[in-house]
Chains A and B, each alone.
Chain A
């Protein structure tokens, strides 16, 4: 009886912590998506392209490198549940929105950086995703850095 209690107490603590963390994380994710929608709406007219040439009709006077980056991590519960997904394969639906919001955030940071400089557009936009090892990787959730960079076209009168 005592042994069962000794095992059960830490287990309950761990599971409730995981559930609490995941719930908080989910609500923050929802809020972040709403914020992304709002900021993307504010930047709607801004020209963004992965073409390497200046858009037709634009006459910039200079250029500068702009970047935006985000490091994102999954929570422990997601990591644990995704272990089951690995058995059957298929889309990992818990990770897709995680990477998506990191990429949108990185892109918005780059755009906001460019607009602060008074840029006309950002061309040659590139995305890079790199997994980042925290410790030896056993007991941590997956982490990735998303980098978005491009060339901001500056107006001619500068």
Chain B
């Protein structure tokens, strides 16, 4: 499963839009972390445990989003966005959403960007360097 936050995937062409997929998780930190964090507040700086907690939770949200995409039979999720919100004191929601799509591999990677716009006539394999990229196709 390819996951990107751009509208197109270089080297591939989007052939079908499956729809919006999403994944979320709400995490509360436990007391032990809270105590070490308030001690850490004496010094300030990075709270490594929280960084790990949120990174781990975000991975879970992405995992759930990917599961949804797989259920739809999609190959990839494009235009992924993240949001983090404090839901309650000590709890945060991590939310990931994007568009599930089906892909086909574009034979020559040199024309990947041009090929993602269906209306665009095909270019020569070497002629991409000076050509301006076409407007992105919103899935």
Contacts and interface: CB of A to CB of B under 8 A. Distances in A.
Contact of A151 (B4, B43, B86): B4
A28 interface: yes
Given A131-B86, A141-B41, A70 B10 contact: no
A57 B61 CA distance: 35
B44 A73 contact: yes
Contacts of A150: 5
B46 A102 contact: yes
Q: Which of B44, B48, B89 has the most CB of A within 10 A?
A: B44
B46 A72 contact: yes
Interface in B52-106: 54-55, 58, 62, 80, 82-86, 88-90, 92
Interface in B116-139: 128-130, 132-133, 136
Contact of B41 (A98, A130, A140): A140
A141 B54 CA distance: 18
The secondary-structure label for the interface of chain B is mixed
Given A69-B58, A70-B51, A134 B90 contact: yes
A128 interface: yes
A108 interface: no
Interface in A137-158: 137, 140-141, 143, 145, 147, 149-151, 153, 156
A111 to B, nearest CB: 15
* Most interface-central of A22, A56, A57 (chain B CB within 10 A): A56
Contact of B44 (A61, A70, A98): A98
Interface of B: 2-7, 9-12, 34, 37-38, 40-48, 50-51, 54-55, 58, 62, 80, 82-86, 88-90, 92, 109-110, 112-113, 128-130, 132-133, 136
